[in-house]
Structure 1
Amino acid sequence: MTDTALSTIAAKLYTESPADFISARDAQVKTADDRALATQIKALRKPSVAAWVVNLFAQERAAQLAEALRLAEELREAQADLDAATLAKLGRERRTLTRRLAQNAAELATSRGERITASTLDAVERTISAAFFDPDAAAAVASGRLVRELDPSESVDLGTAVGGGTPDSPAPPVVPADEVSARRERRAAERALHDAEQARERAEGEKKKAEKAHDEAAARVQALETRAAELEKELAQTMKDAERAHADVDAAAEHRATAATQLAEAERGESAAKDALGALIRK
């Protein structure tokens, strides 16, 4: 817990214009009744311009900042259940919200007569972004007593980042029990919807694979049936050709037998002629 008197004084000082901080702090030191408190006030460091802009916004737009920090906390809790696409979408929305809050804070500071440069606005945006990612950074921003800007990539040392004592964690807005229950049910329904969408996408993928496999198999069947019909036609023609060849074989065999008989008769006739001629010669 912070010392109430010191934190109250520090909160007031850290919304003073940076140019007036030293004089306002010294005036508080002079009016302090307690010497220890005066020493603590004197030790308060002057905030950077970016820290002052965030402090001004945190104190004068406390409800707006608290709502943004609460939404950021819900996102941190829910992100473990989300897929990459949803996380990317939420990341873009969070960056948009960060820029809008930073712009609102800069406009508030400008209305106080302070000139806000592009580099200061960038530092304000980084500080608010850090509060969205880190509970300690959220406590530092919500305290309205920042001494320096914060960075999302760095851990927060509350002892050096905040003046006037270590801040308590920002109290979450009071939410009716039925609203809490409704939010839980909504998150559960969103997770169920996400799971159902994933299951549908997987089923669609399997259906496409099955349809492709079916089409490929049907094409193969059609090609094979066409080839089978061609082969059947070729087989029928081949069988006809074989029958004709068998007939040719039988005819050739018969012709061969006739030729063999004729040859035998010719050979006998030749032999008889030779015998007759030989007999004449011997006479």
Structure 2
Amino acid sequence: MDLDEVAARLYALPPSGFTAARTEEAQAARRAGDAALAREIGKLRKPTVSAWAVNRAVREHPGELDELLALGEELRAAWAAQDPRSLAEATRRRGELTGRLSRLIRQGADLPPAAVAEIGQTLDAAVVDADAAAQVRRGRLVKPLSYTGFAPVPVTRGAGRRKPPPGEADDRAAGRRAETEARKAKERAEAEAAHREWTQALAEAEREHGERAERVERLERKLAKARKRLEEAAHRLEVARREERHARARLGD
């Protein structure tokens, strides 16, 4: 067993089962005498919902993913060659392939809107950026990816300012709107996650408080009974002492 094998198993799991499975894998490595592997397993981070969904696509839809990432290579090559025709064609196919793969990822998974937006953001990053593509191919994402550089767009050779082709300004505006919406969705998702975490912590604290309060109440009832028995014992002791003194006095008569 090595780290790659363990990571492949863990990142195929939904986030809800990741932590428990990671603990079991680390314990198994420790029982096998491999403390170093156990430590490395313990460092593996739990994926977000959107990262898990993309990781799942690597395993369940490899053909569609390979097609999209291959198109990304064509897109980057067309950008490097400043080939407007090839770049325009690749851009058109990019929308088709990204949309198809996004729909496949959403099938059979109840994903929140924020996760859906992050999936699209991750796929876009993988198409535009080779490093992002390599991360997606591994199937071990722990968080969504994003691309902050310049997206490939056709550029006319020659001096002077380039005139945007028809529709490019609209595409850029739509892209900015999509980025804004994705950012807002991510912020809301983070806020919702924090709220869920503290709601869970509150419920746990309330449960613990209730259990301890009940225990204290039981102990107080036991203490009250013990005090009563102590008072009764003290009363019997006083009676016994008094009667013993009387009996001793009669002996002296």
What TM-score results when the alignment is normalised by the length of structure 2?
0.53
How far the C-alpha of 1:61 sits from its partner, in A, is 1.9
Q: Is residue 131 of structure 1 aligned with residue 126 of structure 2?
A: yes
Instruction: Give the corresponding residue for 1:146.
Output: 141
Q: Is residue 7 of structure 1 aligned with residue 35 of structure 2?
A: no
Separation (CA, whole Å) in 2 of partners of 1:90 and 1:70: 10
Separation (CA, whole Å) in 2 of partners of 1:122 and 1:43: 27
Distance 1:118 1:92, change over 3 A: farther
Instruction: Give the corresponding residue for 1:119.
Output: 114
Q: Is the 8 A contact 1:56 1:144 kept in 2?
A: yes
Distance 1:42 1:23, change over 3 A: same
Instruction: Give the corresponding residue for 2:42.
Output: 42
Separation (CA, whole Å) in 1 of partners of 2:149 and 2:19: 28
Separation (CA, whole Å) in 2 of partners of 1:120 and 1:143: 20
Q: Is residue 56 of structure 1 aligned with residue 51 of structure 2?
A: no
Task: Return the match for 1:22 from 12, 19, 22.
Answer: 19
How far the C-alpha of 1:98 sits from its partner, in A, is 1.2
Q: Count how many residue pairs are aligned between Structure 1 and Structure 2.
A: 147
Could you give the per-residue CA deviations for residues 66-123 of structure 1, whole angstroms, max 9, x where no partner exists? 232122212211334455465344323212321221221121xx2xxx4212221111
Separation (CA, whole Å) in 2 of partners of 1:154 and 1:62: 27
Q: Which amino acid aligns with 1:102?
A: S
Q: Is the 8 A contact 1:13 1:21 kept in 2?
A: yes
Separation (CA, whole Å) in 2 of partners of 1:86 and 1:61: 26
Distance 1:14 1:72, change over 3 A: same
Q: Which amino acid aligns with 2:42?
A: K
How far the C-alpha of 1:65 sits from its partner, in A, is 1.4
Separation (CA, whole Å) in 2 of partners of 1:22 and 1:137: 25
Give structure 2 stretches of 5+ with no counterpart: 151-253
Instruction: Give the corresponding residue for 1:276.
Output: none
Give structure 1 stretches of 5+ with no counterpart: 156-283
Distance 1:96 1:67, change over 3 A: closer
Matched-pair identity in %: 39
Instruction: Give the corresponding residue for 1:67.
Output: 67
Q: Which amino acid aligns with 2:59?
A: Q
Distance 1:43 1:80, change over 3 A: closer
Q: Is the 8 A contact 1:102 1:124 kept in 2?
A: yes
CA RMSD, Structure 1 to Structure 2 (Å)? 2.1
1:148-187 equivalences under 5 Å are 148-153=143-148
